[in-house]
Structure 1
């Protein structure tokens, strides 16, 4: 999997914006006066999409009650699809991981409203801490019996990854490997794209791949199916801090509705039912206001990632 795929995806999104304008539609860089009559909310799959959608669907009723309009909740097929859907105004609100947000902002002027809070993770065994933080980390997992102990030993191996816009499932692990002298595109490494970090964990557990890029804590997603996963699948590397996921709206959303939507999510996550939904879907424990500059570190990593094809 080459980095040019990410560039190509961005080009497709930019072309879509041009076509929208040419056809007489407003781009998402419009006047900022969009008032939704029905709100469309979409998640990106961090685990099995069907299971995730079943968990997320009840959010529609809670949001509808807060906002006073119908709400539709769905799960996208991947990161690029939801960004494009927001750019073409088919999706109003997206639960975007940080790298996808940066792309959506660049291409369509998408507006970040909130950043998720999660409990910190500690090792061993992805234990949940007691501190709420607005960041997380990515890990590179291997099978305990593989003999792989460090990044250098990943040369010539097979790695399960997410889409190239996935911060934890591609960008941060690939960039930090590069910093340690291992180029995922030039060191005879084969990448296998899987959908969902749980599938990345299972690919290592079942020895279908030698390693996987996942967010720290992903092993907990499969403990029911693989009770011994903590013993059999272990991290050999943990990245630096990554800004947490976002709740982002399309670029022409009115400021009044931006505030209404942000306030609604803050209230919902504090209710018993709302917290249960957000915690089960994304491990979100709360939300804080966010601004675009909070994601400048992502932009720095993206720039470094361009070196992967040099």
Structure 2
């Protein structure tokens, strides 16, 4: 046979050619630079309900992996951490590559872990939201300065729109806030007492029933509030708008892969598959770039975060 006649030199050449072909074959490509050796891209969220949030976010992780295959990504995995501190650790050690959260935690994590904020998330037709301060219509309260000696109800200690943002605004105005065990605890004349209601319904009912003087909700919640409750309340003040949610990437992720992640997420709204995944992720409309750049859009958050940084970092 021809191979036998040509001998070992010919066989060596064939082996060299075969190795070259295998190395160039798409399925044999190595993992993307900067991610796990197995080519896994990890999408991180902070949540006290990890099972639920992983179920919500896993389709997005898989979508990213599918559309980043040419960049060496082989699999997508949603990862939930119980705290902001643990997310900082995961980003620093490469256990999370992409991170999605509300603006206050995202900015604190970027400061501590060196993550880079890339995109914003739209929901309900808007890229941002703000806090609305509400009081009973007949309360006589018309400004935030009148809250001294009174009680305010926040929703929960992990909420941007219903805690961090309004609290930071009050502190910036020079008001002193003091947490209380319940709405029966006394509030000193020079302070603003506050308690947590756990959910939007509780804090609104407490305000209507005069258990507290003021409460805070997002503008979305206010606009969608039942009319029979809405007519009992009035808007005392509003905060400036802040981005609803932010997409960050690990700071040491290769720039080329960062650019590809940005491209894939921004392009999701343009395909049926992408829109289906977006809807699954808590009815997301789309992801997009910051029109004036991330720094300009995040300036209101950075200006306020100094008042609540310690609390955000302790989440």
TM-score of Structure 1 vs Structure 2, range by shorter chain: 0.5 to 0.7
Q: 1:43 to 1:139 in 2, by over 3 A?
A: farther
> Are positions 1:156 and 2:158 aligned together?
no
What is the CA deviation profile of residues 61-112 of structure 1, one whole-angstrom value per residue up to 9, with x for unaligned ones? Answer: 3222212321112444454543443234322111122222221221121011
1:39 corresponds in structure 2 to 41
* Pair 1:138–1:254, CA change in 2 (3 A): same
Q: 1:60 — aligned with what? A: 61
Structure 2 counterpart of 1:184, from 177, 197, 200: 177
In 2: Cα distance, 1:82 partner to 1:147 partner: 44
Q: Which residue of 1 aligns with 2:91?
A: 86
Q: 1:50 to 1:108 in 2, by over 3 A?
A: closer
How has the CA–CA distance of structure 1 residues 143 and 287 changed in structure 2, closer, same or farther, with 3 Å as cutoff?
same
Q: CA deviation at 1:54?
A: 3.9
Q: Contact 1:43–1:95 (CA<8 Å) still a contact in 2? A: yes
Q: Deviations along 1:205-261, whole A, 9 cap, x unmatched?
A: 45397354443213578x7xx896655676433211213421101111111111121
RMSD: 3.8
1:105 aligns with 110
**Conserved 8 A contact 1:35-1:257:** no
Q: Distance in 1 between matches of 2:276 and 2:55?
A: 13
**Structure 1: unaligned runs, 5 residues or longer:** 1-32, 120-131
Tell me what 1:136 maps to: 129
TM-score of the aligned structures, taking structure 1 as reference length: 0.64
Tell whether the 8 Å contact from 1:268 to 1:275 is kept in structure 2 after alignment: yes
Q: CA deviation at 1:293?
A: 1.8
Larger radius of gyration: 2
After TM superposition, give the deviation of residue 292 of structure 1 in Å: 4.7
| SS of residue paired to 2:251 | coil
Secondary structure of the residue aligned to 2:247 is: strand
The structural deviation recorded for 1:148 is 6.0
TM-score by structure 2 length? 0.63
Aligned residues: 253
Aligned-partner Cα distance in 2 for 1:85–1:155 = 43
Q: Please tell me whether the aligned partners of residues 143 and 237 of structure 2 are also in contact (alpha carbons under 8 angstroms).
A: yes
Q: What's the CA shift for 1:189?
A: 0.9
Residue matched to 1:18:
none
Measure how far apart 1:173 and its partner are. Answer: 1.1
CA–CA distance in 2 between the matches of 1:43 and 1:229?
34
Secondary structure at the counterpart of residue 269 of structure 1? helix
Which residue in 2 is equivalent to 1:237?
A: 237
Could you tell me which runs of 5 or more consecutive residues in structure 2 were left unpaired when the two chains were aligned.
1-32, 179-189
